[in-house]
Chain A
């Protein structure tokens, strides 16, 4: 075997050396320079050695003090050539400690290139794609290019696959579901010369099309149904998934789709649908772990948006530019943070409630809400007036205390108002302790009153500072009196409040326990008051001071927003916290009813996290994060598109996300059309023309057939970025229709089919496997959209910390929905998905690397979901009047089957039937696990035999493969 490899190597090397094509910079030279030279002589200024850049023509061809790196046309005079050939370990390049070495062939290429004039160019993917002259349009162009490519290598297109294979291939590729055998028979026997095209049109028009192709997008979008990280709590993202399916079915062109996804909210008169589209970039994770810094995880989310955007559209990896300039591609650290600054201007901030969110109301809900909101604001203002007049009466005997000094442990600002109330503003810590010093006149002192003032202010309507939950929790209250220069603790008794939240009574504020306290939900939007009596009334002969410590330790910023303290001289016994007139109480009741209806209206409504731009005066300042550390800010950067990757696109002063979307899709951008054409190709052929779908940069793979890639890129763009039209062109080609069977000779010449010398054959994805199995079993539900579902998974998998959410195996049709709808928990995806290379939705997944493992065998053999499918197929077989096994096999494989195949399965059936006949309890157990009833015509052991045959069929390599 080792010898064989050597022979291959020699053959390859010889074939190259004998080629007498001129050396091409982008294809031949740049990859050598990138991999071996640029890490020290490239774009990254911090790592650059000897002040030499080899990535810029002007620098490389300039005469330096140490010599002339590249003397065009004169290899011997070029420092580069001297150094790569040097025998001195101190001089040779690359240096020995870099662990990089150039092969003799690579050295020869560099020398020949310099000798031939050192003609410079850009990396191949940064040059505009060229359609090439004389190539027929559409599918014929693909055939023409591939045939020419193959014939240059002594190969030709394979004969077309038979019609049965073709309809199964088209159905699986376009809709993710197999055809039925009767659809196949109709297609095979059709004499319509345009039957294939009609079939393709039908498949593209099915709603299953959008469901299938959405899966590709969900991987790119790192879609999941939870927030990620430690707690990994649920999150409503499915309306975005449904939007995506719809957009694909409507064939929203990629340029518009891009604008919607990245900047739907910035479009003029943005609709709810356009805003919903921006949830694409809210699929980033949020960290709810206690004690984490929200800003840290917000900045990680913004970086993820930059990285994902560059990956999905431009096929560029930006990971390294977070910490230092890219070593290989023209993306400096400043470029990176310029893009970061564009994405840094949205309101989301790793908050627990995932704000801002979009409420998805239907039309009648919207109308009703508008009416209720009008009534609500009217009632509120009337209520406020009524309360003011009540307050005049309430205040009899109460003296408002004036603030002298105030301190907030969390750094908030406390300011006294003319009405004696104290307004809290500025920094908003999760917990706070207010320490107030208040002036006290002489006289008697029997009780204190705390009034929490409600009303709008700082974007909050309520008594607390957290806009999402304007409640407060007074964990503990301590009062001290200044007596003769000493603070003396006053004991408070008989506290009473106008309202207490369940389990949060006012007594909790005086019990010495910081975990208890007074709170007022669900009435946090109304004013409240509490009265505290002194255990012993005091008589002050001198003015003095009171010191109050208001501990608010609950967290989540449940702290007072505006409040007032007053004192009463007594007697204290009859004092009430708040007196409301009948009118006030009536208005309050009506308002409560309106608000309840409002909250009922929206409580069942999905709230989806979306992008929402910060107001112009609240834009964040962006600084470079040195070494990627958000706590180590460097130079300030403005929003900007990366200089060398703009490709002439002009975005004006301060580009927005919308400008970024237009840049990505601009006619000058050479990367987006190539990356996308390659991606769509890869979804059909199982691998891209550029295998590294995620990297079109200097270190990515080269395209196998560059002319074909460019042809497709130009085709996609010129055809208005229509995915359906591109797919139609691809699948109607003869290249697509080739048989996937491979001869020994072909296997030798093109072992992985990278030359496209035959049709593609590969194992189906997790979702298509599931859907196909369900479809063949007759159990598949085609119910569309809505919240994700929980098909069976083994017990005990979900055990995230601080998360009580449970996996409850679905019953009824939700048990058998398409794989697209399976609940995806980031830290614990469904095991079938993981086993068959599905992702976790944690980061953007450009492609799934296919594996072939024993764990996959265990899933299809033993997973109860697989067994239920076998049960369904067995039932279907048993209901056939004749040739039951044969028909079952046909139903799965969608082709006429051979007698030998049927015979093998029937032998199996007979053998195991005997085992079951001897062990009736095993039949019962198997039928129960397969969730299927025995037909009356069959004995239990006979039917158990059918289940075993069905399970075997579902495990056939041919069934698991697209071919």
Chain B
């Protein structure tokens, strides 16, 4: 084929995509073109390489990431054997050939610090720290055997959310919005909400669009200041003035288009109008003031609250169990999903409990973090359910890895209150899924008596990624984007990832 003419063809396609904006319309055009077999070439080649959609089991994702990684042994993994061996030397077999972030020498076994009880019809063991989650445990599938390849925060978070421990790859939310589009043309398709006072260790790259077009990057909606950067009109410009400005702009831009004929000019006119609509739509959805009191109470949320921890140099010293920031974000997640946002990503920082100080310990900090999040998470599940949204929304909960059955020993070798900690543990940890497409009340996989290794159904991050895509109706094997000589996929270049059929409803 004459490459020059082929170029023209791709241009036609691209133009269609742009004028269709970010809505579902754009995606319909893309899949249409894919079916029509227009040949791919260049930066957006993969647009046409898109496979046919599978039947989706969920339309939305709410991903609750506990940055720093909570201890599964205090929350979901009931291990009486650790009680028996408390403060004895760790068996040699657990240490040889292993790399730890901080553990040195031979550490001691650390018993679970909180008590467990069985809950729900499924009789799952849940810690006393999660009384509210215990009440909805039959809606969730708890995966006890997650494994990851990275044992430091930033690389591990990147691996989990972008499929690569290195920078530059699109995040799960970008993949999903690129593949499926947004369901509300006045709101971004991928929204990120932060709490805990710090950005997660790997920073903004966790919601970056990598090599996908930048319109698919996550938009961080904030609790203080403009919910989206530069969303408010400058002081002194009211809506009438802004409308008049945009009318004049549209008039002059239309005249420019009639001279220059550049379709980008038309796109710009429509993007200014979309911005104008977002200025109303985003604050509306981000404002909790209209929520009834019983809903606010159900989550433990508080409209308009801005925590001092969010601007502190060391927020950990300001953590409180009744801080409503995370609860507000859970309630916002429901509102966003209700309004058609495809992917809502929450990051809550402050779960890295090494025990080097009372602000980062299992015995003192973990209960506070649980108190500030447990009620809201259970409320989110119930609230989505009562609105009929739980079936079409996948909820994911977890950290980037787990924590060791051994006590961390680099700061203190003795057991001391306020200094109880565990190191990073990539070999077995807990995550849970609930909602769209998930078999509730299931405990997936089992670990050995120390919780050190899986003994049944080891589950990799790749498996999780494949399963999430599958639930959204995207074939993880074929869902790819051509960039730098490779068909890049979320699940990486190799074919190890398996969809976890066993936990699908």
Using a CB–CB distance below 8 Å, which chain A residues touch chain B? 1-2, 5-6, 8-9, 12-13, 15-16, 19, 27, 99, 103, 105, 149, 153, 228-230, 232, 285, 287, 289-293, 300, 317, 319-320, 323, 326, 328-329, 409, 431, 514-515, 553, 691-692, 694-695, 697-705, 740-744, 746-747, 749-752, 754-755, 761-763, 794-796, 799-801, 804, 826-828, 831, 834-835, 837, 840, 842-843, 849, 851-859, 861-864, 867, 900-901, 904-905, 907-908, 911-912, 915-916, 919, 922-930, 944, 948, 951-952, 955-958, 960-961, 963
Known: A751-B8, A849-B214, A929-B236. A740 touches B260 (CB 8 A): yes
- Report if A747-B261 is in contact (Cβ < 8 Å); known contacts: A289-B201, A796-B224: yes
Q: What are the residues of chain A within 8 A of B18 when measuring CB–CB?
A: 852
Known interface pairs A704-B7, A796-B224, A852-B271; A431-B410 also in contact (CB < 8 Å): yes
CB pair B101–A929 under 8 Å, yes or no, is no
Residues of chain B within 8 A of A700, CB atoms compared = 485
**B424 adjacent to A857 (CB under 8 Å):** no
Which of A230, A905, A926, A958 is the one whose CB lies under 8 Å from B201? A230
Query: What per-residue 1/0 map shows which CB atoms of B216-243 lie under 8 Å from chain A?
Result: 0001001011101111111111101110
**Which one of B151, B224, B262 has the highest number of Cβ atoms from chain A below 10 Å of its Cβ?**
B262
Which residue of the partner chain B has the closest CB to A923? B236
Q: Which of B389-447 contact A (CB under 8 A)?
A: 410-412, 424
Cα(A485)–Cα(B257), bound, Å: 97
Q: Which residues from chain B contact A105 at a C-beta distance below 8 Å?
A: 1
Q: CB distance B259 to A741 under 8 Å?
A: yes
Contacting pair A837 B214 (CB below 8 A): yes
B273-284 interface code vs A (CB 8 A; 1 in, 0 out) = 011001100000
* B256→A2 contact, CB < 8 A: no
CB–CB B260/A907 < 8 A: no
B110 → chain A, closest Cβ, in Å? 18
* Closest Cβ–Cβ distance, residue B425 to chain A (whole Å): 13
A854 and B272 form a contact (CB under 8 A):
yes
What A residues does B225 contact at CB under 8 A?
794-796
Give the distance to chain A from B381, nearest Cβ to Cβ, in Å: 29
| Stretch in B30-38, B56-64, B450-458, B464-472 with 4+ CB within 8 Å of A | B30-38
Other A-B contacts than A701-B42, A925-B236, 5 sampled, CB-CB below 8 A, are: A319-B484, A801-B201, A851-B214, A852-B268, A862-B234
Does A957 lie within 8 Å of B253, measured CB to CB?
A: yes
Select B493's contact among A230, A323, A926, beta carbons within 8 Å: A323
Interchain CB contact (< 8 A) of B237 among A292, A741, A926: A926
Q: Which residues of A contact B200 (CB under 8 A)?
A: 801
A19 to B2, CA, bound (A): 10
Asked if B152 and A289 sit within 8 Å, CB to CB, the answer is yes
Which of B38, B41, B197, B232 meets A9, CB within 8 Å?
A: B38
Shortest distance from the beta carbon of A109 to any chain B beta carbon, whole Å: 9
Residue B9 lies at the interface, judged by CB distance under 8 Å to chain A:
yes
Bound CA–CA A707/B397 (angstroms): 56
Residue among B102, B203, B204 with the most chain A CB within 10 A? Answer: B203
Complex interface: chain A residues within 8 A of B240 (CB): 915
What's the minimum C-beta distance from B493 to chain A, rounded to whole angstroms? 7
Quote the shortest CB–CB distance from A892 to chain B (angstroms). Answer: 12
In the complex, the answer to whether A955 meets B249 with C-beta atoms within 8 Å is yes
Q: Which residues of B contact A831 (CB under 8 A)?
A: 229-230
CA distance A691 to B242 in the complex (A): 39
Known: A12-B6, A751-B15. A6 touches B36 (CB 8 A): yes
Known: A704-B7, A926-B237, A957-B256. A849 touches B262 (CB 8 A): no
Out of A741, A843, A924, which one reaches B168, CB within 8 Å? A843
Q: Does B117 contact A (CB under 8 A)?
A: no
The answer to whether B203 and A800 have CB atoms under 8 Å apart is yes
**List of 5 A-B pairs having minimum Cβ-Cβ separation, nearest first:** A291-B101, A926-B236, A827-B203, A752-B11, A925-B236
- Given the interface pairs A553-B410, A796-B225, A948-B241, the reply to whether A864 lies near B255 with Cβ below 8 Å is no
Q: Which of B199, B485, B493 contacts A326 (CB 8 A)?
A: B485
Please give me the residue from chain A that is nearest to B247 by CB atom: A908
Q: Is the CB of B43 within 8 A of A229?
A: no
Q: Chain B residues near A912 (CB, 8 Å)?
A: 241, 244-245
Quote the shortest CB–CB distance from B132 to chain A (angstroms): 28
A861 to B234, CA, bound (A): 8
Contacts of A701 in B (CB 8 A): 3, 41-42
Q: Taking the nearest CB of chain B, how far is it from the CB of A381, in angstroms?
A: 40
* Cβ-defined contact, B235 with A960, below 8 A: no
Task: For the complex formed, measure the closest distance between the CB of A872 and the CB atoms of chain B, giving whole angstroms.
Answer: 15
In the bound complex, how far is the Cα of B234 from the Cα of A55, in angstroms?
61
CB of B287 within 8 Å of the partner chain: no
Report A-chain residues with C-beta under 8 Å of the C-beta of B33.
5
Docked-complex contact B261 and A855, CB < 8 angstroms: no
Q: Interface of B with A (CB < 8 Å)?
A: 1-16, 18, 22, 29, 32-33, 36-38, 41-43, 51, 99-102, 104-105, 151-154, 166-168, 197-205, 208, 213-215, 219, 222, 224-226, 228-238, 240-242, 244-245, 247-249, 251-253, 255-257, 259-265, 267-269, 271-272, 274-275, 278-279, 310-311, 313, 349, 410-412, 424, 478, 482, 484-486, 493
Is A853 a contact partner of B199 (Cβ separation < 8 A)? no
Residue of A nearest to B203 (CB): A827
B43–A854 touching, CB < 8 Å: no
User: Can you identify 5 A-B contacts, CB atoms within 8 angstroms?
Assistant: A103-B37, A754-B11, A763-B264, A956-B253, A957-B256
Q: Is A695 a contact of B485 with CB atoms below 8 Å?
A: yes
Contact for A742 among B32, B198, B204, B262, CB less than 8 A: B262
Q: Which residues of A are found within 8 Å of B313, using beta-carbon distances?
A: 804
Contact present for A908 and B244 (CB under 8 Å): yes
A514 touching B411 in the complex, CB below 8 Å, given contacts A291-B101, A862-B232, A925-B236: yes
Establish whether residues B264 and A702, one from each chain, have CB atoms under 8 Å apart when the complex forms.
no
Q: Choose among A698, A849, A852, A944 the residue that contacts B236 (Cβ–Cβ < 8 A).
A: A944
Considering the complex, give the chain A residue whose CB is closest to the CB of B168: A843
A956 contacts across to B, CB distance below 8 A? 249, 252-253, 256
Residues of B contacting A750 in the complex (Cβ-Cβ under 8 angstroms): 8, 11
Contact residues in B for A749 (Cβ distance below 8 Å) = 8
Give A746 to B5 CA distance when docked, in angstroms.
13
State which of B6, B198, B255 has its C-beta within 8 Å of the C-beta of A800.
B198
In the complex with contacts A12-B9, A705-B4, A1-B16 CB distance below 8 A:
yes
Complex Cα–Cα for A957 and B248 (A): 12
Are B12 and A8 touching (Cβ within 8 A)?
yes
Partner of B485 from the list A291, A329, A927 (CB cut-off 8 Å) is: A329
In the bound complex, do residue B3 and residue A702 qualify as a contact, i.e. CB atoms below 8 Å apart?
yes
CB pair B201–A919 under 8 Å, yes or no, is: no
Tell me the nearest residue of chain B to A321, going by C-beta: B485
> Whole-angstrom distance from the CB of A480 to the nearest CB of chain B?
17
Question: Is the CB–CB distance between B7 and A754 below 8 Å?
Answer: yes
A320 adjacent to B154 (CB under 8 Å): no
For B7, list chain A residues within 8 Å (CB). Answer: 691, 704, 752, 754-755
Residues of B within 8 A of A957 (CB): 253, 256-257, 264-265, 268-269
Q: Compute how far the CA of A194 lies from the CA of B242 in the bound complex, rounded to whole angstroms.
A: 46
The complex places the Cα of A861 from the Cα of B231 at a distance, in Å, of 9
Determine whether the beta carbon of B234 is less than 8 Å from that of A926: yes
CB distance from B305 to the nearest CB of A (A): 15
Tell me if A854 and B203 are in contact (CB < 8 A). Answer: no
Q: Once the chains bind, are A761 and B153 in contact (CB under 8 Å)?
A: no
Q: Does A925 contact B8, Cβ atoms closer than 8 Å? A: no
Chain A residues positioned under 8 Å from B105 (CB to CB): 409
Closest residue of chain B to A762, judged by CB?
B264
A915-B104 Cα distance, complex, nearest whole Å: 70
Contact among A794, A827, A863, A900 with B255 in the assembled complex (CB-CB below 8 Å): A900
Residues of A within 8 A of B271 (CB): 852-854, 856-857
A329-B485, A515-B411, A851-B215 as given contacts; A289 in contact with B261, CB under 8 Å: no
Q: Given the complex, which residues of B lie within 8 Å of A900, measured CB to CB?
A: 255
Is the Cβ of B236 less than 8 Å from the Cβ of A796? no
**A955 surroundings in chain B (CB, below 8 A):** 245, 249, 272
Q: Give Cα A9–Cα B18 distance, bound, in whole angstroms.
A: 20
Q: A925 is contacted by which of B14, B51, B235 (Cβ under 8 Å)?
A: B235
